């Protein structure tokens, strides 16, 4: 099986507001996203198909056909729109990234079937910014079921020194090089936290973003930002603060706060080239 991904961009405004709730309740639920005149994003969507290579042309599917589907089923209905729960496309749901990803899935999947294209829809990812995106992925065990994820990005600046008490000073210097500097060194860490689950059928939201932010900021960002991990953070008093250990420690701090195993993945970007991920074992 081979996958191919096509990226598209569209601009839209949206407002999070439920007409059967009071203005105060909407503000409590959605914060500034409930402001009366809405706000907008330059969305980026990635559509991934999967299939076998056709030996006659070397392709899974003609990319021109996929472009045509995305133009008619996505761009023409979303680009330049003002999306609210009352918009016909939203069917009473809040126009969050989770809902938009689901909407794109339904329309693209129907178009693929109608055209009898030899590929199946594998994943939709919709990003409203560099710090928030949602995914809709085919279940590996049940093609009719979809798994939904939401990823939120945070940042913190911290110093650390890579040093193992199991090694002598020479071995530490040889293994860790400059990272064994006695005074440490620092990074602008980028933290990606991904939750999974089924969106609320009324709102379309997978998680309360304000509550997610509160948890991650309290347990990780505020705790680690502008700290020396070896000297200031209890977990690393005797644990070498490699990014492998850091991502696992962050996972362990966050996991108890999210119900029903909804914490799906934690990623630490130590630099643009060094990326570390801890993910829940499949069951």
Catalytic residues: 179, 226, 270
Q: How far apart are CA 48 and CA 102, in angstroms?
A: 14
Residue 19, CB-side half-sphere exposure with 13 Å CA sphere: 7
Q: How many CB atoms lie within 10 A of CB 45?
A: 23
What is the 3 state secondary structure string of 159-201?
A: EECCCCCCCCHHHHHHHHHHHHCCCCEEEEEEEEEEEEECCCC
Contact call for residues 185 and 178 (beta carbons, < 8 A): yes
Length reported for the chain: 283
Q: How far apart are CA 27 and CA 213, in angstroms?
A: 16
């Amino acid at each position: 099986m081979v996958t191919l991904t096509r990226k598209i961009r569209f601009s839209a405004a949206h407002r999070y507001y439920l007409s059967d709730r009071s203005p105060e309740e909407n503000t409590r639920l959605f914060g500034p996203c409930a402001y009366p005149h809405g706000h907008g994003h330059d969305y980026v969507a990635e559509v991934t198909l999967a299939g076998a290579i056709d030996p006659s042309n070397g392709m899974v599917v003609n990319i021109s056909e996929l472009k045509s589907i995305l133009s008619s089923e996505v761009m023409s209905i979303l680009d330049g729109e003002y999306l609210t729960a009352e918009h016909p496309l939203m069917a009473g749901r809040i126009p969050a990234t989770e809902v938009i990803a689901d909407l794109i899935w339904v329309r693209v999947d129907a178009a693929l079937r109608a055209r009898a294209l030899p590929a199946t829809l594998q994943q939709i990812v919709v990003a409203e910014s560099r710090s928030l995106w949602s995914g809709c992925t085919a279940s590996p065990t049940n093609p009719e079921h979809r798994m939904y994820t939401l990823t939120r990005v945070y940042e913190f600046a911290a110093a650390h020194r890579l040093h193992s008490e199991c090694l002598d000073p020479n071995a530490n210097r040889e293994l860790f090089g400059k990272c064994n500097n006695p005074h440490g060194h620092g990074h602008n860490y980028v933290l990606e936290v991904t939750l999974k689950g089924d969106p609320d059928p009324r709102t379309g939201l997978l998680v309360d973003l304000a509550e997610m932010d509160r948890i991650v900021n309290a347990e990780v960002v505020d705790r680690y930002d502008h700290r020396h991990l070896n000297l200031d953070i209890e977990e690393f008093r005797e644990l070498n603060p490699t990014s492998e250990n850091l991502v696992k420690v962050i996972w362990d701090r966050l996991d108890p706060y999210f119900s029903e195993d909804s914490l799906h993945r934690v990623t630490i970007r130590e630099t643009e080239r060094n990326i570390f991920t801890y993910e829940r074992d499949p069951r």
